Amino acid sequence: MRIRWHSLTLLAVPLASALTQQKVDIHRAAIPTASVRLGGALSSVRVIGWDKDSIALTGVIGAGSRFDGGAMNSAGPVQGMKYYVEAPDEGALRANKLELRVPARARVWIKAGSADIEASGVTGGLDLNIVGGSVRVSGTPRELMVESMDGAVTIDGTAEFARVKTATGDIVLKGGGEDLTLTTVSGAIRAAEGTVQRGRFESVTGPIIFAGTVARGGDVKFDTHSGSIELRLAPRADLEIDASSVTGSIENAWTRTRPIAGREGRGMELGISSGMGGARVSIRSFKGNVRLTTR
Amino acid sequence: MMHLTFEEISELAESGAESRHVQECDACRTSLARVRRLLADAHALPREIAAPPEVWDAVRARVMAEKHVRGATRWWHNGWLASAAAVILVLGTATFMTQLSRGKSSKAKAVMVNPSPILGSPALFAVDKNYVVTIRELRETLETQRPNLAPSTIQTVERSLRVIDDAIAEARAALAADPANQALVDILASHYERQVDLLQRATELSPSL
């Protein structure tokens, strides 16, 4: 592995007194599974997994912002890097935009306030945490953790393991995964196009729409308090569905099975075994309406 | 100067790496040295310690004694006694929560929406008791961090907490009316889980985020 030192170090020192925008241009050789952490006052971060054993951190830090950090080891290929950005105010924060290129198998951790994070091509791990803004992930990360308060999260691809949580932000999944948990308080969850092995889709008041495929032997759970749950299923999919709503309604336009009145005449319940069974779907709602349709 | 977080210090301690900040900051250098000492001490501990035989004898004796007590007095199966106990427990919780809310500032009250007392079942109490203390502590922690968080973040968190509070209130009322409904127990517990999770996430936010 060749150690490459391009223009670097210039910005691996604190820039507390910077009066003008500072260019970030850091290049280091790295191990394929390097760990990179970025945190603080960032408005935009673009993460790209590439097939090189090196890390490139480039971008611009606004006037008055402070950029600090460095590699965990000073000799040899980088095993871990960590950088932190501080901004004096919102205006300075908005100018702080970074692009991070890492070996595809790297693990990237980003924690920012209101930021737009885009990640693509990373097959290692992504741990992304924002308050507002947005997160957009494409590719096939092995492990994906996203936490957001009101920022929207979009995943376009397949994750082996994913945990996505928002408070009010919407979650869009265009893909699938082996073990997924998507949780929101009042955002909407929309999942389509992919195959899910084990999945949990949970909201308090936000609607949940699932138009994906449950893998053979899979187990997927939907849970809401008052949001609606809509499953758009393939005709004759091999599924065992168990749905219940304490006070909400259940409508089945997917098969001919009719829901029955729930406990003590309130709410509704529905049990369906379609095709060879093979995959389990559980739906639980307190007062949200449940609807099964054919896609 | 901004100090390293505990997580960052732990990483440095485990990796053996140095950082420029630690060289310049006495407080972080001291913390790092303490964590390194702790790690060294922890590594020096034996991997397993066999319990002395008398400990197992004592555990066995105590388990047997508790079995006897449970077998002799299954008090919760006596209808009136169980009801009375449930009422006392719920009233106790209600009193506790009232005292708790009285002790807080009006600003704190805006965040601390406690479950309203509903006289009901042991099932309700059982679910509540698993979460009430944790949620109260997390809300208190969040309250102390409030000045460090952006107003928009506080608003988002409070709005979401109110949404979950409303859901908890509805689930509690339903469970109080239908105490044997296991589905409601599960729903209530899941709402509490979400509240704990949201509060934990909020308390872990960095200053000014």
Q: What does the pLDDT profile of chain B (209 residues) look like in tens digits?
A: 667 777 778 778 877 777 878 888 888 888 888 888 888 877 777 665 666 555 666 666 666 665 554 444 444 444 444 444 444 444 444 444 444 444 443 333 334 445 555 545 777 888 888 898 999 999 999 999 888 888 888 999 999 999 999 999 999 999 888 888 888 999 999 999 999 999 999 998 866 55
| Shortest Cα–Cα distance, A197 to chain B (Å) | 22
pLDDT at B207: 63
Which pTM value belongs to this model?
0.74
- Cβ distance of A185 and B160 shorter than 8 Å: yes
The reported pLDDT for the residue numbered B60 is 65
**DSSP-based three-state secondary structure for A194:** strand
* Closest chain A CA to residue B167: A225
Burial bucket for residue B63 (CB in 10 Å: 0-12, 13-18, 19+): exposed
Sequence-separated (6 or more) residues with CB below 8 Å from residue A186:
A167, A168, A203, A204, A205, A206, B159, B160, B163
A17: nearest Cα among A90, A81, A68: A68
pLDDT category, A73, cuts 50, 70, 90?
A: confident
Give the closest of B8, B19, B190 to A223, CB-based: B190
Q: Which residues pair with A39 in a beta bridge?
A: A84, A111
Maximum CA extent, chain A: 73
State how beta strands A54-61 and A97-103 pair.
antiparallel
Query: What pLDDT shows up at residue A275?
Result: 84
Rounded CA-CA distance B150/B157 in Å is: 11
Q: What is the pLDDT of residue B77?
A: 42
Choose among B205, B64, B207, B108: nearest CA to A130. Answer: B205
Nearest to B205 among A72, A131, A150 (CB): A131
Inter-chain CB proximity A244 and B206 less than 8 Å: no
| A97-103 and A114-120 strand pairing | unpaired
> Is A185 in Cβ contact with B198 (below 8 Å)?
yes
- Calculate mean pLDDT across residues A260-272: 87
Decide: helix, strand or coil at residue A239: strand
Chain A residues with beta carbon closer than 8 angstroms to that of B187: 225, 246, 284, 286
Per residue in A113-163, pLDDT (tens digit) is 899 999 999 999 999 999 999 999 999 999 999 999 999 999 999 999 999
Q: Which of B15, B157, B194, B208 to mutate to probe the A interface, most A CBs <10 Å? A: B194
Pick the range with the lowest mean pLDDT from A89-98, A270-279, B112-121: B112-121
- Residue A156: the pLDDT is 96
Domain boundaries, chain B: 77-203
Give Cβ neighbours of residue B20 (< 8 Å, ≥ 6 apart). Answer: A13, A68, A70
Tell me what the pLDDT averaged over chain A comes to.
Answer: 91
Q: What are phi and psi of A106, to 5 degrees?
A: -70, 165
Confirm or reject contact between A183 and chain B (CB < 8 A): yes
Q: Is residue A201 within 8 Å of A260, Cβ to Cβ?
A: no
